[in-house]
Structure 1
């Protein structure tokens, strides 16, 4: 059967423009949208259709503008950078041998709709390449005959039947027009029923069938949404007319006249070379020398992937609806156990009654063995009238073997939570092999959120069932144990199914980037069980000590309030920004040096610091806030977070948090305890060892500076570290032309500020502010620094240039950080991306190093019979709890593994300490 591909060119152009950063070629011409369109066209043409057309909107009014003067009235004009890419796009499409269709007076949608219907009537199968949901109204399927399918080339999703449309939108293809009419469209300025979203529209159409029937039954719909519907009744027929894609437009070309022409290779070669499309040029047979003659700035592989070249398009099966079993009998359980036994890998997920993995009770488990085949095994749904379920222990006993089997690869999405839950219920999981959250994070840490719902939408074009869909929202949200089994099965089984589908897509994408493989396989995945063990170990808290600190902080807060009242000459609420602003700026007439985004005087920390030298009150307010934050965040809060079952605090570590790879922690956040103040350090005295044990802290010394020396290969910096000298004192000696023993404390302080400041992109203005010196003097310091460490300057400039060319920077171990704004036209955004480009390789390499150390130390600790536990990771520091007589062994073995975690051009150094509490161990 012949096949016609109709390409929604206008949709392609805008999607590519907004999906990619502002790319340009060596001549400075914008190329972002063009680059995206070329990649999508290459993907389409690799499918070898018989006929094709690239359909775009013609300029001027259409019949819809005549129907409604407000139609698309709020749509902004095309950006100049996009407008300049339209003609090059048309030139490339024409050279590819594809007809470009523009029909005055109608939109591209109507041209596509007409051609699609005509083609099917002529026995030609049709694929519409688009991401526009409006086209779902055209989907049709004929057994053994031609049909109309939609393919989203960016995500690879496919709609080719009523079932697939129903799975995505909740309505049939023939109901899409009515569905759109009810919801309206803010992009096209079509007002629908107020507060009527996709779920409500689908619900009404499921109940009443058609828009006319919804209108006829409007009085029966109760509540505020019913009032909104009745208020919109007069508008809905017009909405339907605007939402209907016409299929009867008078066209000059028939579908069978849209044959693909032979490509104009010379013209394409010239265009690809001009705009720097190297891969496309290579496919034409262009030489590497020709390809390198002009390049797209910021065309990183990750950005190319974001427009899904053909080799990355997932199989249609990965976005089709799934078939899910509810397992409530022994026969069903046996069948699924046999299925799990027979497969080499499976995805799994747990459902519980709490987000706290250390206290959650198991409610059910789900498994998927192939895309679209999954089950849910409920074991703890206890709502009134809940169907009989298999006993939890019986189910766990049946599954224990497959979970323990090291020959079966287990897949999860943020599986560390599930490992905790299963461990607490007596199940140990071996061969936890892949985690889709981490696959996505390593593949491109900045491209997307890494939760399952976001990943499914991005990589599969699949809209998942949300937790709130089955459990409700807010105060009315119920526990999962209260969710009806039918709803629970659809939700839970889908989780396992989508995890497996995502793994199929993401593992293939990671395989296409060989340098990322070791980051994922050797660092992130082995770290999952390590972090799970650290979290499970927890840390002992001295509640009495924290209560004493809270009382002391409270007394000092009261004293600060009294002092503030005395300085103000009246009482006021120190916690009220409004009252404070009136006092500082209206009554005391202090200058408002920092403004809120709305232009009002700010009273945030930066604003108060800016005027603290002009009046005593801002400093008192800052002191009060610092005390209040310590009390509310730590001294009052930590005792409440002690797990009653273990008597310990169990933080949660997040691998997919910071794009650089740094771990984050929450509940409680132990990364942000302020240690530059006595009060902040005092909080660490409440983290204690039990009787007979000690707290041991091992901290990398100046690790990011050492990485800077390694990456820059600056001879003077390498010498300073190799000699074991105080690097800040050595830097001061270099900058100020003195011997090390002549450097005074102020000069060392200035050198330290420069050493660390340059890594974070500090300007002369920032250095001047930090050191309390003039901007000119700060600039002189920086110039002196670079004159003594020219390798650092060269490294920084080389890194900026590489980042502009590639769109990303890498750590020593190959982790990538994509920089969306590295070629931004906005100078502030671009400067921020350049600062990140310099800092990220150092911060990211430091993160990789400590993760490698944690993995090595955890493996060693496994054979030490519990004599020591790893209990905390904070920045560049590892904290252990150990038997007192085991401490010397721990210091030697942990220190050795931390030093061996990377082979740099300068030695890694670990500072260690021992004490009865965390603070003493420093």
Structure 2
């Protein structure tokens, strides 16, 4: 029997986003959700379906919004970090040979429902890959009542590995039959979709009523006889329940543009997949694509078993060999719940007498600037830890020690710099404790950073992954004690026995990991220095920068949103006039028809499916042939600025501080560059006037100024230092315009006779060589022939032979050692430097050239931040470090203190590294961030 797999794409993306931490690739692009989706897709394709489709929600309203204007009205907008992963997700899906279905006016559920029923009716077995409980209404047994075989409809949750393929399985999961699921949902309602059900009616009550009365209509007819408060609640919403039923019913009668048997899996586009996997750092997927032998086969076997909703499951890091694990670090622990003063006194004595202890905070929120402290855990030796619950609230919860009293007793220990503390991603805990009146001192070690510095790419650096890799220990997961999805509870509602098992283990495993990782770092002196002198001192610095936050002029952003909205409307009207008819600017299908069929423009860029593309590259390629593509690009740019920044940023202002507080990630990019999220302030566009205008909303309060200090051409200067090329070093030492100086050397001219086009070519060469640009790439960028571009590169290397020698030597060392290093000894491993595939190997060689420069630049600004923060300690009432963005530091400074701060900051930034060329720092002052440039 043929089999169709229907993938609930929207569900995949959101579940992967919330299941995984905020991962990024080397360029700082978010990849966490994308990583999860790719793993789930690979697991699905390993089952070799005959037909497959990836179904996503179309933008805009659906028929359900017409039924109920409040439907999904309370859903927050898609997070920026998730939105950025939608397009690459679609590109990967298409490259895998899977059709993407997006139908206007209906939801993905309805498209899936229609295809599933039609396929099953025509004898095609159907698997719906989803985690959405609403889909259970579609389940159909693969055997009919007579016992004969027939096509069925099954639900598979690829993240958990669960399967629901019969009425019995639905009954086991929900307590009702598949044909009762709609009524079941109508009674309970759905907070996520803003469907109000019967108050206090949970799954057990709904299942009980349907067991007694059969259908929703039966329950409604019997409402007068249902006693108690729950009966009153039912009668109060009787008028609403039929609408609930309509909203929760999945349509199975849509008029779709394709039939199930037209969804055959196409041949994958290996070249496109190779580029996408390499860009986003999906190493196992790359190995599988290239036929990675036994490792790939083992990985595929695990994929078939189902990718689990845990960090370790996605990573599938193999535990170390038995002789690599200290048995004392992998044995079960003994944990104590501290509920009495005498117990607390005993633990205080242990902490005061310890040279080092591990600690961890439990809270009710992932946002450290808003989280309330629920409890604390401590460990002073492997296998022995405690949990001190402080704010658990649930029926029957035991009495707990007073939070303020406990913190007052812990404060002297936590603020004692002579007692070393270790944490896992402890910056979060420092924030929480500071907000509760405890300024932690002596934060000496962080296991996340120990792992990251030791090998940034060997594993993910969350506790679960590290425990599995370095201890051979499987931890209790948060979802094990707090649940997940709609049934998840906050930690203050977790029973104390479960809370202790989870929280005390966190502290215990943190201590064990430190015992395992510290000797490994000590065995690598250069890495140990990076950890001790850069990463660890930076933790409290970043915590202060995050806590300082930055003030926003929300009114200015609203004005910008209004202006962008008007210009979007104008762009729409101009596009309509140019097209001669109305069309949806956001619809690739309509754009294709208009541009390539009606207007007859050439389709110069194709999708992985071989169809004409309407992405940015495709529109740029034909923008000189018709005005419409340029107008569409303008509209898209305005839309992105509005949705990502001007509309979104005001919503992120902390109500308690009145400021925006980003979070910086130290263990993200392998090069060591910092990334930021919530909001991501690293990606505010500055190449356009509209993008730069956003920075005008980052303001200083009255009496203060914004000061911005930015390294000038730092990576080029590092190239000059690393290569030692006399000509390049001299160009920087003289203070000349480096691109003009390069042009003079390459074209054999004097500085005053260099023409603008020659300087532009020299600039492209200077930056392009650092990123491994080929003659083809340079030719495309400059708009010249490939031969001419090759001549430029040859001239460059002839004038700067030290640069070529450096590049050749670096590639050779990378092949010998498998890694390259920054000036300060940070190690950057290159997994594909020996890859059989030439494309992967070339990519690793390009990274070998660029990574030392990018990594050294990251180390330099981190060193500068540590030094400047130390100097600012005596002036925190007069100046704050508020942002780090790439090679720039931003400060909020008393107007009368600017003249004192500027020379101190610029001098300390310039002195953060001793290079063969000077580190030049540009600075500016203004009432807002943009004025300071």
TM > 0.5 fold call: yes
**In the TM superposition, what is the alpha-carbon distance from 1:455 to its structure 2 partner?**
1.1
Q: Summarize the alignment of residues 676-687 of structure 1 with structure 2, pairs less than 5 Å apart.
A: 676-687=687-698
**In the TM superposition, what is the alpha-carbon distance from 1:357 to its structure 2 partner?**
0.6
Task: Report the counterpart of residue 406 of structure 2 in structure 1.
Answer: 395
Q: Summarize the alignment of residues 322-401 of structure 1 with structure 2, pairs less than 5 Å apart.
A: 322-401=333-412
Task: Report the counterpart of residue 747 of structure 1 in structure 2.
Answer: 758
SS at match of 2:874: coil
**Residue 219 of structure 1 contacts residue 226 of structure 1 at CA under 8 Å; is this kept in 2?**
no
Task: Report the counterpart of residue 467 of structure 2 in structure 1.
Answer: 456
**In the TM superposition, what is the alpha-carbon distance from 1:716 to its structure 2 partner?**
0.4
Task: Report the counterpart of residue 872 of structure 2 in structure 1.
Answer: 861
Q: 1:708 to 1:219 in 2, by over 3 A?
A: closer
**Residue 329 of structure 2 contacts residue 512 of structure 2 at CA under 8 Å; is this kept in 1?**
yes
**In the TM superposition, what is the alpha-carbon distance from 1:334 to its structure 2 partner?**
1.4
Q: Summarize the alignment of residues 424-463 of structure 1 with structure 2, pairs less than 5 Å apart.
A: 424-463=435-474
Task: Report the counterpart of residue 500 of structure 1 in structure 2.
Answer: 511
Task: Report the counterpart of residue 704 of structure 1 in structure 2.
Answer: 715
2-structure distance, mates of 1:602, 1:533: 46
2-structure distance, mates of 1:604, 1:510: 46
Task: Report the counterpart of residue 173 of structure 2 in structure 1.
Answer: 223
**In the TM superposition, what is the alpha-carbon distance from 1:196 to its structure 2 partner?**
9.7
Tell me if 1:797 matches 2:808: yes
Query: Which of these residues, 725, 733, 739, is aligned with residue 722 of structure 1?
Result: 733
Q: 1:819 to 1:548 in 2, by over 3 A?
A: same
Task: Report the counterpart of residue 778 of structure 1 in structure 2.
Answer: 789
2-structure distance, mates of 1:336, 1:390: 14
**In the TM superposition, what is the alpha-carbon distance from 1:219 to its structure 2 partner?**
9.7
Q: Deviations over 1:826-876 (max 9, x none)?
A: 111111111110000000000000000000000000012421110100111
Q: Deviations over 1:220-259 (max 9, x none)?
A: 982379999xxxxxxxxxxxxxxxxxxxxxxxxxxxxxxx
Task: Report the counterpart of residue 588 of structure 1 in structure 2.
Answer: 599
SS at match of 2:810: helix
**Residue 196 of structure 1 contacts residue 225 of structure 1 at CA under 8 Å; is this kept in 2?**
no
Q: Deviations over 1:727-753 (max 9, x none)?
A: 111000001110001111111111111
Q: Deviations over 1:93-150 (max 9, x none)?
A: xxxxxxxxxxxxxxxxxxxxxxxxxxxxxxxxxxxxxxxxxxxxxxxxxxxxxxxxxx
SS at match of 2:393: coil
Q: Summarize the alignment of residues 91-240 of structure 1 with structure 2, pairs less than 5 Å apart.
A: 222-223=172-173
Tell me if 1:569 matches 2:519: no
Task: Report the counterpart of residue 819 of structure 2 in structure 1.
Answer: 808
Q: 1:623 to 1:512 in 2, by over 3 A?
A: same
Tell me if 1:825 matches 2:836: yes
Q: Deviations over 1:341-379 (max 9, x none)?
A: 221111111111111111111111111111111111111
Q: Summarize the alignment of residues 644-723 of structure 1 with structure 2, pairs less than 5 Å apart.
A: 644-723=655-734
1-structure distance, mates of 2:177, 2:512: 42
1-structure distance, mates of 2:175, 2:805: 63
Task: Report the counterpart of residue 66 of structure 1 in structure 2.
Answer: none
More deviation in 868-877 or 370-379? 370-379
2-structure distance, mates of 1:743, 1:893: 36
Task: Report the counterpart of residue 499 of structure 2 in structure 1.
Answer: 488
1-structure distance, mates of 2:459, 2:834: 20
2-structure distance, mates of 1:693, 1:225: 63
Q: 1:306 to 1:686 in 2, by over 3 A?
A: same
**Residue 673 of structure 2 contacts residue 855 of structure 2 at CA under 8 Å; is this kept in 1?**
yes
1-structure distance, mates of 2:468, 2:596: 49
Q: Deviations over 1:753-809 (max 9, x none)?
A: 110111011111211221122222111111111111111011111111111111000
SS at match of 1:873: strand
Task: Report the counterpart of residue 771 of structure 2 in structure 1.
Answer: 760
**Residue 671 of structure 2 contacts residue 858 of structure 2 at CA under 8 Å; is this kept in 1?**
yes
SS at match of 1:376: strand
Which entry has the higher C-alpha Rg, 1 or 2? Answer: 1
**In the TM superposition, what is the alpha-carbon distance from 1:573 to its structure 2 partner?**
1.9
2-structure distance, mates of 1:601, 1:493: 56
Tell me if 1:844 matches 2:855: yes
2-structure distance, mates of 1:757, 1:220: 58
1-structure distance, mates of 2:866, 2:473: 35
- Runs (5+) with no aligned partner, structure 2: 1-45, 49-153, 163-167, 179-316
Q: Summarize the alignment of residues 405-420 of structure 1 with structure 2, pairs less than 5 Å apart.
A: 405-420=416-431
Q: 1:598 to 1:388 in 2, by over 3 A?
A: farther
1-structure distance, mates of 2:599, 2:462: 49
**Residue 170 of structure 2 contacts residue 177 of structure 2 at CA under 8 Å; is this kept in 1?**
no
**In the TM superposition, what is the alpha-carbon distance from 1:197 to its structure 2 partner?**
10
**Residue 740 of structure 2 contacts residue 762 of structure 2 at CA under 8 Å; is this kept in 1?**
yes
2-structure distance, mates of 1:309, 1:802: 29
RMSD: 2.4
**Residue 194 of structure 1 contacts residue 225 of structure 1 at CA under 8 Å; is this kept in 2?**
no
**Residue 797 of structure 2 contacts residue 804 of structure 2 at CA under 8 Å; is this kept in 1?**
yes
Task: Report the counterpart of residue 529 of structure 1 in structure 2.
Answer: 540
Q: Deviations over 1:570-607 (max 9, x none)?
A: 22222223333333334434343334344443322223
**Residue 320 of structure 2 contacts residue 472 of structure 2 at CA under 8 Å; is this kept in 1?**
no
**Residue 539 of structure 1 contacts residue 648 of structure 1 at CA under 8 Å; is this kept in 2?**
yes
Q: 1:382 to 1:307 in 2, by over 3 A?
A: closer
Task: Report the counterpart of residue 895 of structure 2 in structure 1.
Answer: 884
Task: Report the counterpart of residue 259 of structure 2 in structure 1.
Answer: none
1-structure distance, mates of 2:47, 2:783: 50
Q: 1:814 to 1:480 in 2, by over 3 A?
A: same
**Residue 195 of structure 1 contacts residue 225 of structure 1 at CA under 8 Å; is this kept in 2?**
no
Q: Deviations over 1:406-430 (max 9, x none)?
A: 1111111110000000000000111
2-structure distance, mates of 1:831, 1:770: 20
Q: Summarize the alignment of residues 545-560 of structure 1 with structure 2, pairs less than 5 Å apart.
A: 545-560=556-571
2-structure distance, mates of 1:787, 1:220: 73
**In the TM superposition, what is the alpha-carbon distance from 1:610 to its structure 2 partner?**
2.6
**Residue 319 of structure 2 contacts residue 469 of structure 2 at CA under 8 Å; is this kept in 1?**
no
TM-score, length basis structure 2: 0.66
2-structure distance, mates of 1:74, 1:306: 24
TM-score, length basis structure 1: 0.67
2-structure distance, mates of 1:537, 1:458: 36
Query: Which of these residues, 886, 893, 905, is aligned with residue 904 of structure 2?
Result: 893
Q: Deviations over 1:5-42 (max 9, x none)?
A: xxxxxxxxxxxxxxxxxxxxxxxxxxxxxxxxxxxxxx
- Runs (5+) with no aligned partner, structure 1: 1-72, 76-192, 202-217, 229-304
More deviation in 595-604 or 444-453? 595-604
Q: Summarize the alignment of residues 43-82 of structure 1 with structure 2, pairs less than 5 Å apart.
A: none
Query: Which of these residues, 326, 335, 353, is aligned with residue 315 of structure 1?
Result: 326
**Residue 343 of structure 1 contacts residue 369 of structure 1 at CA under 8 Å; is this kept in 2?**
yes
1-structure distance, mates of 2:490, 2:578: 52
1-structure distance, mates of 2:635, 2:47: 48
Q: 1:620 to 1:520 in 2, by over 3 A?
A: same
